A and B are shown apart, each in its own frame.
Chain A
């Protein structure tokens, strides 16, 4: 099936540890995104990438890092510098036409809990 796969679905981490969330898509989309969701705050953009080997900071990039070495993969690392990392993380992808962004296809999400 075509779509976006995020793993793991649930993750527990001790304070001070880095953790990497996986996001893979087989939709042949150029653009990929990471959003963080907290109750009552909607979706906040962490990082996004329009093309392989290029990515931009979103609104809340501090304490996070990404890479885009392959078109189908956009892993997110939550570093120990992130002050409040417990959240629901959503990866998405979309096709693009010029400067326009198509609909976003989301993965099932990864729920990170810091103990």
Chain B
């Protein structure tokens, strides 16, 4: 079945450093979504990418969707302590209508 792999599993940075998490799918995705889960909280939607090669920015966050629509990345510039949490990518589950498969997530720790 369709798999969504995410790396790294953990990332520790000093405040002010940049951070990137990568998402790779075994199949071509029609779209990809990104979520953030704060410690002790629930996932919250960040963005959805649909077009091949698409790049979207939200303040210090930059999201990219690969040309082949099989990979995506989230880059945070100059991390802050408020960026702490787990970042997940999620993609449609292959031919299974309505299924959304999540990556394992990247746990970001920011040291002040």
Contact = CB atoms under 8 A, between A and B. Distances in A.
Nearest to A102: B48
Interface in B31-47: 31, 33, 35, 41-45
B22 interface: no
B89 to A, nearest CB: 10
Contact of A56 (B33, B92, B96): B96
Interface string B1-41: 10000100100000000000000000000110101000001
B103 A42 contact: yes
Interface stretch (A15-23, A43-51, A74-82): A43-51
Interface residues of B, number: 27
Contact of A106 (B33, B43, B48): B43
A41 interface: yes
B102 interface: yes
Contact of A48 (B1, B48, B99): B99
Contacts, number: 65
Contact of A101 (B35, B98, B103, B105): B98
Interface residues of A, number: 29
A33 B100 contact: yes
Interface of B: 1, 6, 9, 30-31, 33, 35, 41-45, 48, 88, 90, 92-93, 96-105
Nearest to A109: B42
Nearest to B96: A56
A45 to B, nearest CB: 7
17 contacts: A31-B98, A35-B102, A42-B6, A43-B90, A44-B102, A45-B93, A45-B101, A48-B98, A48-B100, A50-B98, A90-B42, A99-B98, A100-B30, A100-B92, A104-B90, A105-B45, A109-B42
B73 to A, nearest CB: 17
B33 A103 contact: yes
Contacts of A42: 6, 88, 102-105
